[in-house]
Structure 1
């Protein structure tokens, strides 16, 4: 291979990670038959964590003053070695980065993690994080989060059901710029740190408890 061919191959590999997968069609039921492809914009990964880990984090959160938010100290973050929160997050983020960039990252590091305890009528306005990859893990939910009258509504129409909403782009024809997920205990969402997201308020007693993190991904 000549020097010019090597330069072209290197440039091609470096640009490939910015291209959507042209084979990533998803079949949609109905007539006529159609496959749907969303090749542009960010993706969101979802996984689950062992109940023992959420139990440990909840025991720690129970010792803190609530409502509010507080940092997860290093001894809690790393407790359990390969079963620790830090190892679980770094493994998930590494897999997320590998899927997008075609190779395992040289390094993944959880920069900070914190727990948020929110009472009713409390929301987190649209925001992003100053990191490469972020995520949210649900640790506790209020009993009324399944209220049918609220879940039948949408984020835009003022739903108060405690969902998390991700926003990308604006209102354009033939384009979708908002996705909502109902929180579930033990479920972890992983997404780009720059992706705008909103935590809705909820109605009723209890608190919504979640853990967020910022991770750095080395190339």
Structure 2
């Protein structure tokens, strides 16, 4: 009986340790200034994000559905289960679940016991349409680009999100202007690229100028792990 009690206690401690370890950053340097002695640079804090690609055939199927559902001038609509599950192991649901499982394992060091996709939707935007800064529900979210507008003018690319660039970029924010810290990531829309990130991470889309459509797919999901 005493042995069983000790075993249960040890396992409880181990579970708690694993649950808390995911919040600890590593001390590995990201680079050095090359001096003597060197000053090693570390950037241990902040959310973990994933960037990957999806098959072109999947993008094509989703665009065929969106072409039938999008309205002129921009619109937002849900992706129904019968569309999301077409293709079996190559379906949208299968791809999202695969990428999220890999993300969880890389970010937390433990496999997801279950991944549940709550909702999938597509946003079609035209010139001048922004998406204000917001966060999502659930544990994880993602953005997959299905169509991008024509490349912006060079003068717009030279600007920044803060200075009023209008290039349709997706902007992630973890804080305001802070010295010695990077708090903003701005990425252009690239067809076939899927970003995965914590649902609480603030993000928004700046408007773009010129012809074309910015078409993206987003989702909310929950990932359960064994502590």
The TM-score, its normalising length taken from structure 2, stands at: 0.89
Distance 1:50 1:6 in 2: 42
Q: Does 1:164 align with 2:170?
A: yes
Give the 3-state SS of the residue equivalent to 2:177 in structure 1. coil
Distance 2:149 2:34 in 1: 40
Structure 1 residue ranges (4+ consecutive) displaced by more than 3 angstroms after TM superposition: 1-10, 30-36
Distance 2:40 2:167 in 1: 31
1:27 to 22, 26, 31: 31
Q: CA deviation at 1:175?
A: 1.2
Q: Does 1:198 align with 2:208?
A: no
Number of residue-to-residue matches in the alignment = 216
Distance 1:175 1:136 in 2: 25
What's the CA shift string for 1:50-85, capped at 9, x where partnerless?
111101111111101322010001011010010001
Distance 1:156 1:50 in 2: 33
Q: Does 1:42 align with 2:64?
A: no
Give the 3-state SS of the residue equivalent to 1:214 in structure 2. strand
Q: Does 1:209 align with 2:215?
A: yes
Contact between 2:189 and 2:214, CA under 8 Å: does it hold in 1? no
2:159 to 153, 173, 179: 153
Structure 2: stretches of 5+ with no match in the other structure? none
1:60 to 55, 61, 65: 65
1:2-151 matches, within 5 Å, as 2=6, 5-23=10-28, 25-27=29-31, 31-32=34-35, 35-66=40-71, 67-143=74-150, 145-151=151-157
Superposed CA RMSD = 1.8
The TM-score, its normalising length taken from structure 1, stands at: 0.92
